[in-house]
Amino acid sequence: MNSTQPVGAAASLKVAIYEKTFHSSQGVRIDVLRDLSFEVRGREFVCLLGPSGCGKTTTLRILLGLDREYSGTVNVSADASHRTAAVFQEPVLLPWRTVEQNIRLTLPAALKQTAFNDLLEILGLSGLETLYPAELSLGLARRVALARAFATQPAILFLDEPFVSLDEPTADRLRSLLMAIWAARPTTALMVTHNLREALLLSDRIIMLSPKPAHVAGVFEVAVPRSARDREAIEDMVLAFQDRFFGAT
């Protein structure tokens, strides 16, 4: 089986959110997003970074179609499958289904019988297919969530701080696994994170958001090849990022 994405499967994404507001129970208007525009190219890995509470997750919810109360446009390239997948802060696995059943649950009909042994092998899940979520550590459960997302062969993959609350060694292992599976099954990826070093390790570009109402404060190109992003290179990029966005981190 060819496990890579078919040509043209990875979508490009153009976002122009003119305004997104909330109203409190007392009727107070809260402007969350205003004139937020950016683009993610096909097979590009982009991170959204910004101050806590600036509207990163709200943006992701809009892109996933979970929040339609906004003004603006979200456009996906016409030649893509438009199939999307998401990995959230919690694995969201069904406790009464096995690892394999959880992965197959969201597959479209055309992929229901697809084998994904390579996917399980890369993520270190081979031999665990018959286990239930209660028998997994949090780190393993998040690997299952990654497997479930990539198994759908998405045109766009959205990730909302998928490694938050993990200890750093476990988070580092999962970041490495994410890069391994993304290299094997390339797709367009947009990840929300508050962790600058994580963004520098994973992404091609970092889109820096302003405090709310959020707009794009700037874009940081991560020019260092992934194979050369060792600790020293990451720390050098941290300094360069902080120099450009002084006080933003």
**What number does CATH give the domain 13-244?**
3.40.50.300
Quick one: pLDDT at residue 247? 55
| Mean pLDDT value across the chain | 90
Report the pLDDT value the prediction gives residue 78, as an integer from 0 to 100. Answer: 63
What's the rounded Cα separation, in Å, for the pair 166 and 42?
A: 30
pLDDT tens track for 167-181: 999 999 999 999 999
Where in the chain are the domains? 13-244
Note every long-range contact of 64-73, with CB atoms under 8 Å and residues 24 or more positions apart, other chains counting.
Answer: 64/158, 67/20, 69/20, 70/17, 70/18, 70/19, 70/20, 70/33, 71/17, 71/18, 71/19, 71/20, 72/15, 72/16, 72/17, 72/18, 72/19, 72/20, 72/36, 73/14, 73/15, 73/16
* Of the listed ranges 26-30, 40-44, 54-58, the one predicted with least confidence: 26-30
- Over residues 188-210, the pLDDT tens digits come to 999 999 999 999 999 999 999 99
Cα–Cα distance, 41 to 3 (Å, whole number): 21
* pLDDT tens digits, one per residue of 46-67: 999 999 889 999 999 999 999 9
Distance between CA atoms of residues 206 and 237, nearest Å: 12
pLDDT of residue 165: 84
Instruction: Read off the pLDDT band of 77 (50, 70, 90).
Output: confident
Q: Report how far Cα 96 is from the mean position of its chain's Cα atoms.
A: 26
DSSP bridge partners of 40: 13
CB of 172 closer than 8 Å to CB of 234: no
